[in-house]
Structure 1
Amino acid sequence: MNFSPAECLVMGLLHSGARYGHEIDKYMEQMKIRYWTKTNRATIYQTLQRIERKGWVTSDTEVVGNMPRRKIYTLTPKGKKALQEMVFAGLASQEIVTFDYSIAIGWLEVLPTQLVIDQVIQRKSFVEKIIHQFSQEDVEDTDIYIGRRANVRFLKSYYEMEREWLDWLLRELRKLKKTV
């Protein structure tokens, strides 16, 4: 099955209890999903329209108090089946992980070594802030859904590994600076 990650994400969040676009966006914030995908609010609404056209969700409008009318989405049986197929295919993915950051690293020699060191230190500071965003509870609390824990654990492990790699890179750059 050919699908977009945004479709799988939005349908998964609907399956998890989100019902409308803004609520999907809030779930993404609460679950720290933006750390592992670049999906934004515009993509959410475009995806909702697309999956509705495909018959994977239905929508009704709802008015709560003085709030503006909003569209409430519900997965259809066809949508639940599509979500299962997406998850099934995605779990055996043979996609190569890419790192845009590696492009700049590949040509770091075009800058003076001290400037590279300064920039890498900034990256390391950013990485450390991300690591501290993930609590031990996010990783170990068995009451939290395993898919969320798995993603948080993966990301935390990745950023811890990146911090270690950045330390190595800084040591190598400092050695290089001494020989120049």
Structure 2
Amino acid sequence: MSSTRLLVLGVLHEGPRHGYEINQLVTAGSLEQWTDVKAGSVYHALAKLESEGLAETHAEERTGDRLRRIYGITPEGRHALRDLLRKALSAPPHSTTSGFALALRWHTLLDPGEARELVEASSLALESRRAEIAAGRRAKEGLPPLADVLFDNAEAHLAADAKLLADIRRLLAR
């Protein structure tokens, strides 16, 4: 929830918005590919932030049969946003924890052919992800240098993962 909270509070810091508008930002920016923010989590986050006094309803507008609430950030929300920024910027950008490492420990419980097939499927998924990153980078050309270093980092992590999977496939083939 902290990434979603960070996103919602950050967007509200820029100006009042309704949930649909924030969801559109998540979708348009393909944020589910880059963060653990899911479009469906925005409404829940808004309700929770409002109940905690970090966001408030500024207005309501009717569009057809729907009533949209326009939210704004509160002073407490600005303080919480700064705390979330401090926490996020002081943590490593990528985690080294993974269920994959644990699964390798007990891969022998699976049929050897199945373990190889699963690692091969992981390799194919990784190559698909690498293609998505490359396409995302091309689509977002002209972004500030901070975006370029994030793309560089993602590509380096994926290249390292590709090498790891190639090494594992080689070892499982023995």
Q: TM-score, normalised by structure 1?
A: 0.72
Deviation at 1:61? 0.9
**Structure-1 residue corresponding to 2:135:** 133
**Structure-2 residue corresponding to 1:61:** 60
Decide whether aligned partners of structure 1 residues 105 and 36 sit closer, same or farther in structure 2, where only a CA change above 3 A counts.
Answer: farther
Q: Which runs of 5+ in 1 are unaligned?
A: none
**Structure-2 residue corresponding to 1:119:** 121
Asked whether the equivalents of residues 120 and 166 of structure 1 are also in contact (C-alpha less than 8 Å), the reply is: no
Residue pairs, 1:14-163, within 5 angstroms? 14-17=12-15, 19-59=17-57, 60-64=59-63, 66=64, 68-93=66-91, 97=95, 98-109=97-108, 110=110, 111-112=112-113, 114-116=116-118, 118-136=120-138, 138=140, 141-142=143-144, 146=146, 149=147, 153-154=149-150, 157-163=153-159
Q: Which runs of 5+ in 2 are unaligned?
A: none
What is the CA–CA distance in structure 2 between the aligned matches of 1:159 and 1:107, rounded to whole Å?
29
Asked whether the equivalents of residues 124 and 163 of structure 1 are also in contact (C-alpha less than 8 Å), the reply is: no
CA RMSD of aligned residues (A): 3.2
Choose which of 126, 145, 161 in structure 2 pairs with 1:165.
161
Aligned residues: 169
What is the CA–CA distance in structure 1 between the aligned matches of 2:3 and 2:121, rounded to whole Å?
32
Percent same amino acid among aligned pairs? 20
Deviation at 1:155? 5.3
The structure carrying a bigger strand percent of its residues is 2
